[in-house]
Structures are given as structure tokens and as C-alpha cells.
A and B are shown apart, each in its own frame.
Chain A
């Protein structure tokens, strides 16, 4: 984490940053998150969700309805007419009551599940399926337990021809998440927080256009949670990629996000989209605007918050 503080302090002449992220766009992004909408339309990290609807068929119910061949199951609407737009380089946090379909929505955007109707357009193209440009960080640990840290981080770099460049890239991202010295350890030898950092390094090493995170702090102890959160904020500020995170921690969303989306209960619709222009680093207690927003979101999710 000191690494990042350093990066933040002397932005502009960062050595790691320049080798790791050679595209000029990123340095521009890291200083300025909010862009003019006209310029975003063609950007690779621009996401548009149009009329997204997702239905499941409850087959257990169908089994009970005997003798009716037409009834193949009870239709359960998980997501209903979701329309959203996220700009390039934004950190978006999606909040909602548990079981509302936040994760399903994220998985659909990432291409792991198909929408029943509706369109997902990323960087001007329809999403056809999972892509190495859109990396998903899973809620449970997605590291391959039979590979050590080095091989896990190198997972997305298998097709790199230049061996030396590949090794350099892996080393660089292991350094980025401060796990140097653990290259040859297997995931089970690492703590939960370290495993998360390996997963982040693996995701970032392929230099994706987009990063999806499904409740990435679940299962971490409170302090590790805060540390990794800070790290993610710093990484986002540093690489300036679009990141979409599903979380049930409202505080996380308020501290991290450029834009928050609050979803309703099932059938899930968008209840609120709010752009957050609060200065960083953010402090919910000290910033009256943030505390107000926090209470508003809590109320929206059915909790009359008392600080």
C-alpha cells in the first residue's frame, strides 16, 4: 500500500506506471475521472445496458404441475428493464438488497450469462461472451490452487511470445500488489487478503479494458478489507480503467465509487443512479454530503441508519 501512496504522491514521474501502462490515455485518466460524454462513446471501457431483462425458469415448480406440457416452469423475473450507462474509467459500485440479482447483472455484463432480452454494449460492441479484455474477479477465490503465485499471475499472458517481457510483466504485477518473495508459494499458503491481491494482480496483468469485481471483500477480516479497499481505490486511480463492483457494503461504495447504482428488490429495477463528485480521499464521517448520502442509501435499502 505504501507503493500506491508513493504513486499518488509523485504522479507523473512514476517508473512502474510508465512501463506497465504505456498507453497515454491512462495517465490522463488517473488525474481526471470525469470526462465529457461526447468523447466517451467510442471508448473501450464505455458500457451501455439497454432494456436488460433476465428470467429464470423455476423447474421445481414445473415438476409439481403434472400433466401440463405447456407449462415448462414458473418464470421468475430477476432483472427487469435495466437501463444504465457507465463512462470510460469510472469506478461503479452496484448496491442492492441481498438476492436482488446484483451478481447476476454483473455476470451478464461480463458475458458469463445470457440476458433474456436486452442489450449490453461495451466499447460500441455487443457482448458475446467472456473476454480476456474484461476480467472478472470472483466472489470465491478464483485462483487455481495447483499453480503458484507466479503461474497464476501469468495465466492471462500465455500467448505472449516475448518470454522476457512476459517475465517482466509478471514480476511487475506481483510487485504492484506487494507480494514479491511469494512467487513460488501456492494459494493455500497465503492469507485471504494475499489471495485477493494475487487475483487482482492476475486480472490487471492482462491490462484489461474492464474489471468486474463480485463482492471482492467477502470473507476478509475487517482490517484486511479496509486495506484491500484502499489498494483497489489506488489501483483504479493509477490505471484509470472502468471497474464495476458489486458490494453489499454501503460504506465501500461511498468511499470508492465515481458512480453508485442502487437496485430494488425483485423484480429488480434501478432505484437510483448517482454520480459522486466528493473529493478524495473520502471520509464518510467528516464529509457531511457523504454522510447524508449514506443515510439516504441506507433508507432506500430499508435501514433507518443511526450513526
Chain B
């Protein structure tokens, strides 16, 4: 390892940024392995890292892992985009017009705390088994938060910008395009990051009940087959994809004008 030979502090620090998290992961795997060896539990109940890795290999080879990951990602993507496409414009309208806010806000605030999972029975009744109920649940999980976050972002725009717009004779659409949208982007990106994490949580839960595919279904199905190694593969995959989604969201918009 070259980093211990160099005396330049910066290089060690840069390496430490990637090294330290790795140490944590390695430590967790070691403790995991040691626990099983010391406790003497059956690997059927508590699979070792090696068996999980084998499970990973098997599921990748026969294509199951890819199929279920794609199924989950597809549902999250569709449900999330639907929520974005409807929620952000509605939030912009609510944030701008007091009467619209009075019309919708109480309903939204009432529906928001109801867990999307509580909708599962109704969703299955309305949409049957398949992608639709899951997409509907994802949509519910993201929509209300996005509407509320966008509306608050619009309301908190510095009123001076609207006065500047009035002074320079902006049309209604110019106000939306040149003032509101750029002004709310930082808050909305934060909301998107939080929301996609929730959507990802919900899709796994929804797939355990409403559908026959996806990582949630993989976990449930593997439990029924008593394959705890596959259960763990599913969990690890969920974690990895969640991490990836957050990284994508974080890189989504890098705003030049933000200090």
C-alpha cells in the first residue's frame, strides 16, 4: 500500500476517504463470519458471507436477480415519475395561489400521514395483481411529499424576485419559467432525494404482498423456500440499488449559482 510510504498528508486523506468505509464493511463481514463460527448456528438459519456470495452468483447466473431488480426499478421509476410529473406542477400552483392552497391543502395534509402500505388492500382490489397496484403505491408514497415540499419552496421564494418580474413586465409563463422553477430547484432536489428513498422502501414492501416479481417478492419467495442466503442477497441488492439511486439524485443537478 503506497499510501503509508508517502508523507504528503493530502494523499493519505484522499485515500482515507475511500479506505475507512471499506474498513467498516470488512469488519462487519468478519464479525458476521465469526458470529456464525462461534455460535455454531446452522448456515440454513444464518448463512455465512461465503454462502451469500454463492447465492449471489447463482441468482446472477440464472438471471433471477437481474429480472427482479429490473421489475422493482421499473415500478419505482414509473410511480416516481408519475408523482414528479403531477406533484411538482400541483405544488407550484398551490404555492402561488392562496385559494387553490385552501382547496387542496387540508386534503393533502390528511392523506399524507396514511402509510402507503395501508392502501395495499384497496390498491389490490382496484388494480388487481401486477405492476399497477405497486406503481400506485409508489405514486402515493412520493406524490404528497412532493406537492407539499414544492408548495413550501414556492411560498418561500424571496418576494423581491416577483417584484423584479412585475417591474420588467414578465408574463405569467415567464414568471414560472424564469423565477419560480429556478428558485425552487434546490429545495425540490432535496425533496426528490428524500422521496425516492421512501419510494424504494415502499416498493419492497408492496412487492411482498401485491405482486409476483421484484426484490420484495424474491425475499418473500426465498423465505418460503427456506433459502436465507437468497433472502440476504435480496437485502443486499436493495441496499446497493438504494445507494445507487441516492448517488444519481445527488449528481442530478449541480447548481452553479448556489454558493
Chain A interface residues toward B at CB < 8 A = 110, 112, 129-132, 134-136, 138, 140-142, 144-147, 155-156, 158, 186-188, 206
B182 touches A146 (CB 8 A): yes
Q: Do B257 and A187 touch (CB < 8 A)? A: yes
Given A186-B256, A188-B259, are A140 and B160 neighbors across the interface (CB < 8 Å)?
A: yes
A79 to chain B, nearest CB (A): 19
Query: Measured between alpha carbons, how far is A112 from B162 in the docked complex, in Å?
Result: 11
Q: Inter-chain contact count A-B, CB under 8 Å?
A: 56
Give Cα A240–Cα B80 distance, bound, in whole angstroms: 57
Name which residue of chain A comes closest to B183, CB basis. A146
B258 to chain A minimum Cβ distance, whole angstroms, is: 8
The answer to whether A156 and B179 touch across the interface, beta carbons within 8 angstroms, is: no
B226 within 8 A of A: no
Binary per-residue interface labels of chain B (243-259) against chain A in the complex, 1 for a CB within 8 Å, 0 otherwise = 00000000000011111
Q: How far is the CA of A126 from the CA of B164 in the complex (A)?
A: 21
**A144 nearest CB neighbor, chain B only:** B161
Judging by beta carbons under 8 Å apart, are B167 and A146 in contact?
no
Instruction: Say how far B215's CB is from chain A's closest CB, in angstroms.
Output: 39
Contacts of B183 in A (CB 8 A): 146
Q: Would you list 10 pairs from A and B whose C-beta atoms are within 8 A, ordered by A residue?
A: A129-B166, A130-B167, A132-B168, A136-B167, A140-B160, A141-B160, A142-B161, A147-B178, A147-B257, A156-B168
Q: Is the CB of A144 within 8 A of B259?
A: no
Residue numbers in B under 8 Å from A140 (CB-CB): 158, 160
- B160, B169, B179, B259: which contacts A132 (Cβ < 8 A)? B169
Q: Could you say which residues of chain B place their CB within 8 Å of the CB of A130?
A: 163, 166-167, 169
Query: Which of B164, B174, B256 is close to A158, meaning CB atoms less than 8 Å apart?
Result: B174
Nearest Cβ on chain B to A218's Cβ, whole angstroms: 14
**Distance A188 CA – B259 CA, assembled complex (angstroms):** 7
Q: Which residues of A contact B178 (CB under 8 A)?
A: 144, 147
**Most-contacted residue by chain A among B160, B164, B174, B259 (CB, 10 A):** B164
B94 CB, nearest partner CB in chain A, Å: 22
